[in-house]
Amino acid sequence: MYIGPYLTVLDRGRAGRQLQDMKINFSENENLQGRQLGYRVYQGPFSTNEDVSRAKRRLERQGVEDLYLMNEGPTTKFISLGFFSNEKSANELMRQFSALQVVSKQRLEYARHYWLSVSDLNAIEKLKEKNAMPMPSGISKIIRDCEDQP
Protein backbone atom coordinates (compact mmCIF):
# COMPACT_ATOMS: atom_id res chain seq x y z
CA MET A 1 0.00 0.00 0.00
CA TYR A 2 1.33 3.42 -0.91
CA ILE A 3 0.34 6.36 1.24
CA GLY A 4 0.80 9.88 -0.05
CA PRO A 5 1.92 11.87 -1.88
CA TYR A 6 3.42 14.21 0.69
CA LEU A 7 4.80 17.47 -0.61
CA THR A 8 7.68 17.65 1.88
CA VAL A 9 9.98 15.25 3.70
CA LEU A 10 8.76 16.79 6.95
CA ASP A 11 5.13 15.91 6.22
CA ARG A 12 6.11 12.36 5.28
CA GLY A 13 8.13 12.11 8.50
CA ARG A 14 5.12 13.12 10.59
CA ALA A 15 2.99 10.47 8.92
CA GLY A 16 5.76 7.92 9.40
CA ARG A 17 5.78 8.67 13.14
CA GLN A 18 2.05 7.92 13.21
CA LEU A 19 2.74 4.53 11.67
CA GLN A 20 5.59 3.92 14.15
CA ASP A 21 3.24 4.73 17.04
CA MET A 22 0.88 2.05 15.66
CA LYS A 23 3.83 -0.41 15.44
CA ILE A 24 3.49 -0.65 11.65
CA ASN A 25 6.62 -1.22 9.56
CA PHE A 26 6.94 0.97 6.49
CA SER A 27 9.47 2.26 4.01
CA GLU A 28 9.97 5.74 2.59
CA ASN A 29 10.46 6.61 -1.06
CA GLU A 30 10.23 9.55 -3.37
CA ASN A 31 9.83 10.18 -7.04
CA LEU A 32 9.89 13.03 -9.47
CA GLN A 33 6.46 13.63 -10.83
CA GLY A 34 3.85 16.29 -10.93
CA ARG A 35 4.09 19.73 -12.31
CA GLN A 36 7.11 21.17 -14.00
CA LEU A 37 8.91 23.64 -11.75
CA GLY A 38 11.36 25.24 -14.16
CA TYR A 39 14.78 25.23 -15.79
CA ARG A 40 17.97 25.18 -13.74
CA VAL A 41 21.30 26.41 -15.08
CA TYR A 42 24.10 24.79 -13.12
CA GLN A 43 27.58 23.29 -12.87
CA GLY A 44 28.29 19.82 -11.58
CA PRO A 45 27.80 17.28 -10.31
CA PHE A 46 30.69 17.37 -7.86
CA SER A 47 31.47 14.54 -5.47
CA THR A 48 33.48 16.36 -2.80
CA ASN A 49 33.28 19.66 -0.94
CA GLU A 50 36.81 20.47 -2.19
CA ASP A 51 35.67 20.14 -5.83
CA VAL A 52 32.72 22.45 -5.16
CA SER A 53 34.97 25.00 -3.44
CA ARG A 54 37.43 25.02 -6.34
CA ALA A 55 34.60 25.48 -8.86
CA LYS A 56 33.06 28.26 -6.75
CA ARG A 57 36.38 30.15 -6.56
CA ARG A 58 36.87 29.74 -10.31
CA LEU A 59 33.36 31.12 -10.98
CA GLU A 60 33.98 34.08 -8.69
CA ARG A 61 37.26 34.84 -10.52
CA GLN A 62 35.26 34.77 -13.76
CA GLY A 63 32.86 37.38 -12.36
CA VAL A 64 29.95 35.13 -11.40
CA GLU A 65 28.55 36.43 -8.11
CA ASP A 66 25.03 35.02 -8.04
CA LEU A 67 25.30 31.31 -7.28
CA TYR A 68 23.80 28.80 -4.89
CA LEU A 69 25.38 25.59 -3.58
CA MET A 70 23.08 22.54 -3.70
CA ASN A 71 23.33 19.06 -2.20
CA GLU A 72 21.36 16.22 -3.75
CA GLY A 73 22.02 13.26 -1.54
CA PRO A 74 25.09 12.66 0.58
CA THR A 75 27.66 12.65 -2.23
CA THR A 76 26.19 14.73 -5.08
CA LYS A 77 26.74 18.49 -5.11
CA PHE A 78 25.88 21.18 -7.67
CA ILE A 79 26.34 24.89 -8.10
CA SER A 80 23.10 26.51 -9.23
CA LEU A 81 23.68 29.54 -11.42
CA GLY A 82 20.03 30.39 -12.01
CA PHE A 83 16.49 29.02 -12.02
CA PHE A 84 13.87 30.10 -14.58
CA SER A 85 10.23 29.41 -15.31
CA ASN A 86 10.89 29.33 -19.06
CA GLU A 87 13.54 27.78 -21.26
CA LYS A 88 14.21 30.97 -23.22
CA SER A 89 15.50 32.79 -20.12
CA ALA A 90 17.65 29.81 -19.10
CA ASN A 91 19.14 29.67 -22.61
CA GLU A 92 19.91 33.40 -22.48
CA LEU A 93 21.82 33.00 -19.21
CA MET A 94 23.77 30.09 -20.69
CA ARG A 95 24.62 32.27 -23.72
CA GLN A 96 25.91 35.01 -21.38
CA PHE A 97 28.01 32.48 -19.47
CA SER A 98 29.40 31.09 -22.71
CA ALA A 99 30.55 34.60 -23.68
CA LEU A 100 32.43 34.71 -20.34
CA GLN A 101 33.85 31.23 -21.04
CA VAL A 102 31.88 29.82 -18.12
CA VAL A 103 30.74 26.25 -18.73
CA SER A 104 27.14 25.59 -17.69
CA LYS A 105 24.46 22.94 -18.11
CA GLN A 106 20.68 23.06 -18.03
CA ARG A 107 18.03 20.68 -16.73
CA LEU A 108 14.28 20.62 -16.35
CA GLU A 109 13.09 20.16 -12.76
CA TYR A 110 9.82 18.73 -11.51
CA ALA A 111 8.06 18.67 -8.17
CA ARG A 112 9.24 15.86 -5.92
CA HIS A 113 6.63 13.76 -4.16
CA TYR A 114 7.30 11.72 -1.04
CA TRP A 115 5.56 8.42 -0.21
CA LEU A 116 5.23 5.85 2.54
CA SER A 117 4.70 2.20 1.66
CA VAL A 118 3.40 -0.61 3.82
CA SER A 119 3.83 -4.17 2.57
CA ASP A 120 2.53 -6.26 5.51
CA LEU A 121 -1.04 -7.34 4.68
CA ASN A 122 -2.03 -7.54 8.37
CA ALA A 123 -0.82 -3.96 8.91
CA ILE A 124 -2.77 -2.79 5.85
CA GLU A 125 -5.94 -4.42 7.20
CA LYS A 126 -5.30 -2.79 10.59
CA LEU A 127 -5.02 0.65 8.94
CA LYS A 128 -8.24 0.09 6.97
CA GLU A 129 -10.19 -1.19 9.98
CA LYS A 130 -9.14 1.64 12.28
CA ASN A 131 -9.61 4.23 9.52
CA ALA A 132 -6.14 5.44 10.57
CA MET A 133 -4.40 6.20 7.29
CA PRO A 134 -1.94 9.11 7.82
CA MET A 135 -3.07 11.09 4.78
CA PRO A 136 -1.53 14.35 3.57
CA SER A 137 -3.62 17.45 4.15
CA GLY A 138 -5.95 18.24 1.30
CA ILE A 139 -5.95 14.63 0.05
CA SER A 140 -9.05 12.50 0.35
CA LYS A 141 -8.62 8.84 1.13
CA ILE A 142 -9.20 6.34 -1.66
CA ILE A 143 -8.76 2.69 -0.80
CA ARG A 144 -9.49 0.04 -3.39
CA ASP A 145 -8.59 -3.61 -3.52
CA CYS A 146 -6.31 -4.51 -6.38
CA GLU A 147 -9.09 -6.56 -7.97
CA ASP A 148 -11.21 -3.40 -8.26
CA GLN A 149 -8.69 -1.65 -10.48
CA PRO A 150 -9.51 -1.40 -14.21
Report the predicted TM-score, pTM, of the whole model to 2 decimal places.
Answer: 0.59
Domain that includes residue 144, residue range? 2-26+118-148
Residues 82 and 63 in one domain: yes
Nearest to 75 by CA among 59, 51, 58: 51
| Position 118, amino acid | V
What pLDDT sits at residue 40?
Answer: 96
In this prediction, residue 148 carries a pLDDT of 43
Q: Where are the alpha helices (DSSP H) in 9-69?
A: 9-21, 49-61
Q: Answer yes or no: do 92 and 128 share one domain.
A: no
Mark whether 42 and 94 lie in a shared domain: yes
**Percent of the chain scoring above 90 in pLDDT:** 43
Q: Is 65 in the same domain as 123?
A: no
Residues 6+ apart with CB under 8 A from 76: 44, 45, 46, 47
Q: Is the pLDDT of residue 113 over 90?
A: no
